[in-house]
Each structure stands twice: as C-alpha cells, then as structure tokens.
C-alpha cells in the first residue's frame, strides 16, 4: 500500500512524489526551464524573465542583477496529480557546492543541454556529479530555436562524451528559426506550439510531410532500445509484434531508474515549446522516493551498516544538506527526510555531532517564500528552524535508533583574499557575518594569518568571493576592504620523515610536560590527511592522543614552508613520554604541533598549485595565436575540436597564470573568443616557480 504524504495543498501518495533537480552548464537554460515548469503547472501566473529580474527561483538581489543562479532554490508544484519538488541549481562552477549537495538528496534530475553547444565542460562535470550519487536522469535538449542548433550533432556528442544511451522520446520539427514543435515518437504524433505565444495550448497533428522516414527510423531505434531491457518485450519484438505503449513506458521507467537508459526530450524553453512533454517525462520515468533503494548508514553505537526504508513508521533518518541564514527567521536547515516522521517541537539526535537538537518549526519552501507545516514525512524535502549545532552533511535520527548517513564531500577552495573591516565598529560585525556565511557555504573558508593579523577568506573563484563580500554589505551591513585575489597554494611532503616535539614548562607551581615522536608519510594527490596512533605499552596515555592530533591539525593549517596549508599526508604518532603530574592536554597539543613542524622540515617539503581545466572557443583564424599564448602560461594543451564555425581548445592551466586572461583573449581575437574554466586538481609546482612564490612570501 502506498504511503500517504500530506501537505496543506493536497494529499498525495508517496509513489506520486518526485524530488528532482534541474542541472546544466551555465546559460543552458535551467532557470528559464524552471520558470516555464512553474507557469505550466499553475504555480505562477506570469512567465518569469531573467533579463527583467522577475524569476521566482532567482530571488536574491545579486542573482537578479547578474542574471545568474547563485544558490539552489527549492519549490513545490503539481502536475497530473503528482507532487514535484524542484531544486533549481546554479550553473556557474564557483557555486558547485550547491549542485553537489542538491544531487546528494535528490531522487532524479533533469539535465539540460544547449542544442547549439552540445556537451559543454560544466555539463560533463555535473553529469559525473550525478553519476557519483547514482541519480536517474532525463535530458532536455534546449534552445532548438537558436542559431547553430543541431539535434543530431548534439545527440552524437552526448553519446560519445558521456558514454550513455539516450532514448529519444521527442524529436524536433525543424531547427533554428524553423523550429515549430516536436514529435512524440512513441505515440507517433506531432505537437505544435504555433498559436499560443505563452505555450500553454498546443495542437496535436500528423507527422509533417517529408519527415515520415526519419521519424519511423528514430521510433524503431527507440522501441528496440526499450525492448532490449526486458526479456518479455524482446521476445514480442523479435516475433514482429510491437509491445503495448503502457508496457514500453513501464520498462523505460525501470531502465531509467536502473541508470541503463536516459529519456531525451527536445524543445525551447524561451520560446515556450516542448516543456510539457518534459513534465510528462518527469512523472512517467523519474523515480518516486519508493523507487529508491533503502538508504544505508552506519549505526554509531555498533559500527554496523544498517538500512532505513522509505516509510513514515520507520525510525527517523534525515540528512541536513544546506544551511541558509534568513534575515527574518534566522538559521534555516534544509533536510531530506529519508525515513520516519519529523515533528515540529520534537527532539532529535544529531548523530554526526552526538548532540540532541530541538526542531522549532518546520517549513515547506517555495524559493524565498515559505509555508509552515507541523510534520515532515519520509521522502520530503523541508526546512527546519531551531537547529543550532547542525551543519551541512549531518544526520538527524531518533536517539533510540541512531544512524549516520553518508555525508557530502566538497572541493577545496582555490583562491583567497585578505579582508578587513573599514572601521573599528565593523570589526565584530565582520567576524559574525563571515562565520554565518561559512555555515551556509562549505566551500567558503576563513583563516587568520597569525603573522600579519589579517583575515583570509578562500573560495572557488573570484565571482564566489565577490558575491560573499557583496552579501556581507547588503545582508549584514558590513563595509570591508579587500586585497587582490591570491592563489590558494598548498604544501605537502615528498618522503617519509620523523620528528620530535617536547614541551616542558615550569612556572613555580604545577608544570607542563608533553613529549611525542611523529612520522609523516606522503599520500597521493587529493587523498587528504590521515592520523594514526602506533603507541604501545602506554608510552602516552590514550587521553593525550586526541590533543596531539589537534596540535598536528593546527600546525598543518598554518603550514611550515610558506604558511600554506599542509595536505595529502599521513601522520603517525609512534612514541613519546609523559609525566604523572605535569602532563596535560595543552602540553601534548603543543608537543604535537612542534613534532609535526620538526618532521616535515626533513620530509622534502614542496608547494602544490591549483590546475584549472580551461576551454577556449575561438574562430579558426586565431587558433595558433591562442594556443601560443596558452603555452606561454605553462598550459598543457589536451586537444582541439570543431564547434560549428569555431574551434574549441582544451587545456590544463595553472590558476596563477590566468589573471587578466579575459582582456588578453579579447584583444587577441577582436573580442570574438570566449573561455570557460573550472578547478581540476592540485599538482607540484616547478622548482623555478616555487622559488618566485617563496621569494614573495619572504
């Protein structure tokens, strides 16, 4: 029997709920498509327009001014008696954390591609993010009306670049200026949006003359794809019988949920054509919370893996995936309820932090508007007020039936800048604003430089930090001065080395004594930090191991070679000594810090720099000039490919070589080239470049 999900708007069985995200490369049309979905489902009564700043999901002033999505917005609507919870995510790589955390809690996604550009770099990135969390998807090939739109070329690129099997459900009638509508292949009918400029009404008709052969070939391919996923249908197909439409849809739905096929739709959101079939596809092919396997986690008491079924009467398990500071109600914690029921006013256990929390109020979010509810059920995405200690990635559960769900991992910041308040009066406000913004955004980091007394903020790019500073001014009333953006270098070790830390302090009364020996070992790039203890025979009492690790972490954050954080290394405490009376946690913390600094000095320290994945799109005539300039920036050219009349260059370029590139590229190409970049990885800097960086720090 289907679980019932109650809302103040309608009562819906859980099999009729869809939790979906809209994901894509920047400018592929995510927000425009979301606005059309809200309009056609009756959620809004006027079409939102990005250029006019009237969109529902882009509600922040910065989003409306810049015409980009910065934070993911949650909104609920209804289509064919199904409740659709939509999260519209940013496309700009600086806000990749919003995409990552949204995909972690969604059941399905609509991936939007630009029909003229095909698979762009950020498209690949978000596609693989969705792969990481096994999110079933359907594709909407948008912008069929724009100059250069090429359905077949984009379809081939999707197959080749993403190694997937798209199942074409709607087929375009025309392209560019002549794009008129779509053909629903399974039903063999054409849909035209010619008479209603708002696209609410569309007409059904026969397949246009001259398209019959290609449409039948596409339809035959689609049916063959679907039948290959089910033995019963395949037997019918091989016998020359066409399976019933309901059976084809049922098998396609299961193949989509199992990540075997990806239904593909075409259209133009801006011209209001082809969006309703996508909504039908969300209902027909994307999973409900009941179709998703039971969520798995670790019981923190037994250490055993456990499952939670998507049922209201199961023990509670919910994941906090987003924190938002709201000027009216304070801290909002977005939760995905995987099992059980969450009630306002109830107490829950934050199993990640081992704290009890109280749910003050529960809200159903509609972008920046909200609706109060008393209970949240399995399968819902809601926001809670009153959770003071919960942060992104934490699990909430019943205290008697505890579980810790898989958390969310985020990329490391690649750029930083110094920030200081304009006046003494702003000093305290600055600290408060930065702390609240870092609570919201896991990719935004704050650090104090002990030598200079400066506050350093780090993020995913210049735009990211620009938005942070703008939000501080508008939302928190803090005026601040900022320095020039600096590349976020890292330090690491290249060989195994030992170090010793001994802290002895006598001050008349009780003294301080801490002594430990550490070993540092290099790890592969991106593997992070690991701490282990090999203490035997009580050389150091167990209660002092944790303080040693705290001292190690503190020393790693401040670096040794040039003050950059230490990464990608294992630290092992293997010996030491203690004093029965004088040993304390603080003494061992200081000893741990001293031992780490001693060890890494003998471990062949080196600097790492962030490498960016760069794509430059340029007219053919400037290809040689652009490649030559990239090579002078220490770029590794990966290759070139044709993009219509343009050429696209793929390269890996150190971030430190990119400042000012926009201006240079424009002047080299008469303003006709553009580029896109995103963080790729960290790698060791050449020795001559390291010397320059260290000389500047000296």
Strands 17-24 and 108-114 turn out to be: parallel
DSSP label at residue 241 = P
In a domain, 5, yes or no: no
In a domain, 6, yes or no: no
For residue 159, give both structure tokens: 């197959």
Q: Give first-to-last CA distance, the chain, whole Å.
A: 70
Residues 107 and 248 in one domain: yes
pLDDT score for 409: 75
**Which alpha helices (H) appear in 113-229, and where do they start and end?**
121-132, 151-162, 212-227
| Three-state secondary structure of 300-354 | CCCCCEEEECCCCCCCCEEEEEEEEEECCCEEEEEEEEEECEEECCCEEEECCCC
* Percentage with pLDDT > 70 across the chain: 90
Q: If DSSP codes are grouped into helix, strand and coil, which group holds residue 697? A: helix
Residues 551 and 525 in one domain: yes
Residues 360 and 325 in one domain: yes
Number of separate domains in the chain = 5
Mean pLDDT calculated for residue range 42-68: 49
pLDDT tens, position by position, 430-439? 888 888 888 8
Split at pLDDT 50, 70, 90, the class of 54 is very low
Gap between the Cα atoms of 457 and 480, Å rounded: 12
pLDDT tens, position by position, 310-332? 888 889 999 888 887 766 677 88
Least Cα distance to 171 among 279, 267, 29, 283 occurs for: 267
Mean pLDDT calculated for residue range 186-210: 86
For residue 609, give both structure tokens: 């720099």
Residues 370 and 423 in one domain: no
* Percentage with pLDDT > 90 across the chain: 37
In a domain, 1, yes or no: no
Q: State the CATH number of the domain containing residue 22.
A: 3.40.50.300
If one compares 71 and 383, the residue with the highest pLDDT of the two is 383
Sign of CA dihedral 104, 108, 110, 111: positive
pLDDT score for 70: 41
Name the strand (E) or helix (H) holding 42.
Answer: none
If one compares 349 and 460, the residue with the highest pLDDT of the two is 349
pLDDT score for 142: 94
Q: State the CATH number of the domain containing residue 530.
A: 3.30.230.10
Give the up-direction half-sphere exposure of residue 153: CA atoms within 13 A in the CB hemisphere: 14
Gap between the Cα atoms of 90 and 85, Å rounded: 17
Residues 136 and 269 in one domain: yes
Position 448 pLDDT exceeds 70: yes
Residues 385 and 372 in one domain: yes
Split at pLDDT 50, 70, 90, the class of 5 is very low
For residue 42, give both structure tokens: 């009756």
Q: Which domain holds residue 420?
A: 415-488
Gap between the Cα atoms of 590 and 503, Å rounded: 7
Residues 273 and 308 in one domain: no
pLDDT tens, position by position, 506-550? 766 678 899 999 999 999 988 889 999 998 888 899 999 999 999
* Highest mean pLDDT pick, 86-100, 444-458, 598-612: 598-612
In a domain, 4, yes or no: no
Is pTM beyond 0.75? Reply is no
pLDDT score for 58: 39
CB-CB contact of 324 with 334 (8 Å): yes
Residues 221 and 257 in one domain: yes
């Amino acid at each position: 029997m289907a679980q019932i999900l109650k809302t103040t708007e309608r009562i819906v069985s859980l099999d009729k709920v869809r939790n979906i995200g809209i994901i894509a490369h920047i400018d592929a049309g995510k927000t425009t498509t979301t606005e059309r979905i809200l309009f056609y489902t009756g959620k809004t009564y006027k079409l939102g327009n990005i250029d006019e700043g009237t969109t529902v999901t882009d509600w922040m002033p910065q989003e409306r001014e810049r015409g980009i999505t910065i934070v993911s917005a949650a909104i609920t609507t209804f289509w064919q008696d199904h409740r659709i919870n939509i999260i519209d995510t940013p496309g700009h790589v600086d806000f990749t954390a919003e995409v990552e955390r949204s995909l972690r809690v969604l059941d399905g996604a609509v991936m939007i591609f630009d029909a003229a550009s095909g698979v762009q770099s950020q498209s690949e990135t978000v596609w693989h993010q969705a792969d990481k969390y096994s999110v079933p998807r359907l594709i909407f090939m948008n912008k069929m009306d724009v100059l250069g739109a090429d359905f077949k070329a984009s379809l081939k690129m999707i197959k080749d670049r993403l190694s997937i099997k798209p199942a074409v459900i709607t087929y375009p009638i025309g392209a560019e200026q002549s794009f008129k509508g779509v053909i629903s292949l399974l039903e063999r009918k054409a849909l035209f949006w010619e008479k209603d400029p708002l696209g609410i009404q569309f007409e059904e008709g026969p397949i246009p003359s001259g398209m019959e052969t290609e449409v039948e070939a596409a339809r035959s391919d689609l049916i063959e794809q679907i039948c290959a996923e089910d033995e019963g249908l395949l037997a019918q197909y091989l016998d020359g019988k066409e399976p019933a439409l309901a059976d084809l849809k049922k098998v396609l739905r299961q193949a989509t949920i199992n990540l075997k096929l990806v239904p593909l739709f075409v259209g133009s959101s801006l011209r209001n054509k082809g969006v309703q079939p996508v909504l039908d596809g969300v209902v027909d092919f994307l999973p409900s919370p009941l179709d998703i396997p039971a969520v798995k986690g670790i019981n923190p008491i037994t250490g055993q893996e456990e499952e939670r079924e998507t049922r209201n009467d199961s023990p509670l398990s919910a994941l906090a995936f987003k924190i938002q500071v709201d000027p009216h109600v304070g801290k909002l914690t977005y939760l995905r309820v995987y099992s059980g029921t969450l009630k306002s006013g109830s107490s829950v256990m934050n199993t990640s932090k081992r704290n009890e929390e109280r749910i003050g109020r529960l809200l159903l979010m509609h972008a920046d508007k909200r609706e109060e509810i008393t209970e949240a059920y399995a399968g819902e995405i809601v926001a809670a007020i009153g959770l003071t200690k919960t942060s992104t990635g934490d699990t909430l559960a019943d205290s008697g039936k505890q579980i810790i769900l898989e958390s969310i991992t985020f990329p490391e910041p690649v750029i930083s800048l110094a920030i200081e308040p304009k006046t003494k009066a702003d000093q305290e406000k600055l600290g408060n604003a930065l702390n609240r913004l870092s609570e919201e955004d896991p990719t935004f980091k704050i650090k104090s430089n002990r030598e200079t007394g400066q506050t350093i903020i780090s993020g995913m790019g210049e735009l990211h930090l620009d938005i942070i500073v703008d939000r501080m001014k508008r939302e928190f009333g803090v005026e601040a001065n900022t320095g020039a953006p600096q590349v976020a270098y890292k330090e690491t070790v290249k060989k195994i080395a030992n170090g010793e830390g001994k802290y002895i302090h006598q001050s008349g009364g009780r003294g301080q004594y801490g002594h430990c020996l550490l070993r540092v070992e290099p790890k592969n790039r991106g593997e992070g930090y690991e701490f282990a203890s090999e203490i035997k025979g009580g050389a150091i009492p167990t209660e002092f191991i944790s303080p040693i690790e705290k001292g190690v972490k503190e020393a790693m954050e401040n670096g040794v070679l040039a003050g950059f954080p230490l990464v990608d290394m294992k630290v092992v405490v293997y010996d030491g000594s203690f004093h029965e009376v004088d040993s304390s946690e603080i003494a061992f913390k200081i000893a741990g810090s001293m031992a780490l600094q001693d060890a890494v000095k003998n471990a062949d320290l080196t600097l790492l720099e962030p490498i960016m994945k760069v794509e430059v799109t340029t007219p053919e005539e400037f290809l040689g000039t652009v490649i030559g300039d990239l090579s002078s920036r220490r770029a590794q050219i990966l290759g070139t490919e044709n993009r219509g009349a343009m050429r696209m260059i793929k390269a890996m370029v150190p971030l430190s070589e990119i400042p000012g590139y926009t201006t240079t590229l424009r002047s080299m190409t008469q303003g006709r080239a553009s580029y896109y970049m995103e963080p790729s990885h960290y790698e060791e800097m050449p020795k001559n470049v390291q010397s320059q960086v260290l000389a500047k720090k000296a």
